[in-house]
Each structure stands twice: as structure tokens, then as C-alpha cells.
Amino acid sequence: MDDDIELAPPVIRLSALGRRFDSEPPVDALVDVDIEIREGEWVAIVGPSGSGKSTLLNIVGCLDTHTSGSYRFDGIEVSELTDKQRAGLRCRGIGFVFQSFHLLGQRSVIENVMLSDVYRRAPFRDRRARAAAALEKVGLAHRAEFLPTRLSGGERQRVAIARALMGSPRLLLCDEPTGNLDSATTATVLDLFADLNDQGMTIVMITHERDVAERAGRHVSITDGVLTEVH
Ligand SMILES: Nc1ncnc2c1ncn2[C@@H]1O[C@H](COP(=O)(O)OP(=O)(O)O)[C@@H](O)[C@H]1O
Ligand SMILES: [Mg+2]
């Protein structure tokens, strides 16, 4: 028998990663960032405004590119991909959840979820059934035909999470997902993340609220672009 513990391979590996904005003066928004995030982890990134959280999430989400160091997604060096390959990785591998839910007020809940395929330029086959399954997963099947304007903030964010799940992503990236919610609805959204994480979803979540970060299994902090492991 082999007694070695099998560690899940890292989904994300950043090594000495930096992002400089060539503004006047230049801004080093990320400095020498080293982190490995393994399959099935739920990581909270905490830091004050302007510390580099969104820059980091944009790079991990392939919406922006680093200017030094290395970023490997599933072992692939992202800076060596073409723009098209990077977009493909983003559309097929990563789901995004934002602070402001970005739902269309004139479209029903299920149509908002179905629109994920349009944004990701994905094939439309079975998309109503897939959207219904995603809504089921976030506990909102009974709200499918509602307009988002009739939902609470917490329900709206759960619709946005269902939309993010449409592409069956390897990774969920969440930028202040509870920033617009009161404490009761924050709890329901965090419970949903906990369920998804229990089912194996890898989650990276930005927050500046310490009690939100405490729900995640792992907690890193960022200050002036420098990342530090907390626990
Ligand atoms: N496009 C840009 N050009 C120049 N500076 C930028 C740009 N985007 C962000 N920054 C700077 O990088 C730093 C980190 O920003 P950001 O990642 O948005 O922080 P956070 O999300 O933690 O509030 C800030 O000093 C910000 O002003
Ligand atoms: Mg930000």
C-alpha cells in the first residue's frame, strides 16, 4: 500500500507574477505574487480598496494579462496562449460572479441564465434544460419565469451564480459577491458557495469583509499588490 497522500493538482499556479500598468507614473498593481490553488479549494482573498484584488481576479480569469512572472492554469502557461485560446479557456473553464449581478431586468430569470451561452459564444443545444438544471442547483427552479426585479438581492445573486454554472466551469471567480447584500442574504449566498464547494467546485472569492472570508477554507490577504497567506 502507498501511504502517500494524493494531493489534487493545482488548477492555478502563479509564480513571481507581476502586473504593471504603464500609466504616468506606472503602477505596480501586483508584485511577485506566488500562490497555488488546488482543485476543490475555496479561497478568500481579502484586502483594502486599491490593493490589487480585481487586477488579480482579472488575470486569473484571463480578462487581463500579467506583465512578469508566470501563470499556469491546469499546467498550461497562459501567457503563451493566443488571444483566441485564452478566450476559449475563459469561456469553457471559468465562471464569473460580480458584486452587481448584471442581470437584464426585462428578461426572465431563466432567459438571463440562458444568455450565458450567448456571452460565452457556446452552442445553444439543450440550453433551456441546462439553464433549468442550473437554477435547480441554486434552489431557484420555482422562480424561472419571474423577472429579476421581483427577486431579493440574494436571489438575484443566486441567478447570477446559476448563469456562471452554465458552462460547467472548473473554477468560479467571485469579485465581492456579497458586497451588495445584507447579512441575512449574504448567509444564503455563502451557504450556496459551501454546497458547490462540497460538490468539488474550486472557488476564488474576493471580499473585504472578514466574516465572509472566514467561511472559506483558505484565507489570503493582499496589500499594495503583495499577497500573504493568512491560514
Ligand atoms: N488600468 C489601470 N491603469 C492604471 N492603474 C490601474 C489600472 N487598473 C487598476 N489600477 C491601479 O492598480 C491598483 C489596484 O487596483 P484594483 O486591482 O482595482 O484594486 P482593488 O480591486 O483591490 O480595489 C490601484 O492602485 C489602481 O489604481
Ligand atoms: Mg476591486
Domain with 49 in it:
10-229
Ligand 1 neighbour 19 (Cβ under 6 A): no
pLDDT of 121? 81
What is the spatial distance between Cα 78 and Cα 72, in angstroms, rounded to a whole number?
A: 6
| Ordered per-residue pLDDT tens for the chain, 231 residues | 456 666 677 999 999 999 999 999 999 999 999 999 999 999 999 999 999 999 999 999 999 999 999 999 999 999 999 999 999 999 889 999 999 999 999 999 999 999 998 888 888 889 999 999 999 999 999 999 999 999 999 999 999 999 999 989 999 999 999 999 998 899 999 999 999 999 999 999 999 888 899 999 999 999 999 999 887
Ligand 1 neighbour 27 (Cβ under 6 A): yes
Is 132 contained in some domain?
A: yes
Is 176 contained in some domain?
A: yes
pLDDT of 2? 55
Is 62 contained in some domain?
A: yes
Is 1 contained in some domain?
A: no
Dihedral, CA of residue 198, residue 199, residue 205 and residue 208, to nearest 10:
-30
Tell me whether residue 22 is exposed, middle or buried, using C-beta atoms within 10 angstroms of its C-beta: 0 to 12, 13 to 18, 19 or more.
exposed
What is the spatial distance between Cα 150 and Cα 144, in angstroms, rounded to a whole number?
A: 12
Q: Say which CATH number the domain at 205 has.
A: 3.40.50.300
pLDDT of 4? 65
pLDDT of 22? 96
Is 5 contained in some domain?
A: no
Domain count, the chain: 1
Q: Please choose from 33, 45, 55 the residue to mutate so as to test ligand 1's pocket, defined by most ligand atoms within 8 A of CB.
A: 55
Is 203 contained in some domain?
A: yes
Is 3 contained in some domain?
A: no
What is the spatial distance between Cα 159 and Cα 165, in angstroms, rounded to a whole number?
A: 10
Taking the CB of residue 118, how many other CB atoms lie within 10 A of it? 10
What is the spatial distance between Cα 229 and Cα 231, in angstroms, rounded to a whole number?
A: 6
Is 34 contained in some domain?
A: yes
What is the spatial distance between Cα 143 and Cα 145, in angstroms, rounded to a whole number?
A: 6
Ligand 1 neighbour 148 (Cβ under 6 A): no
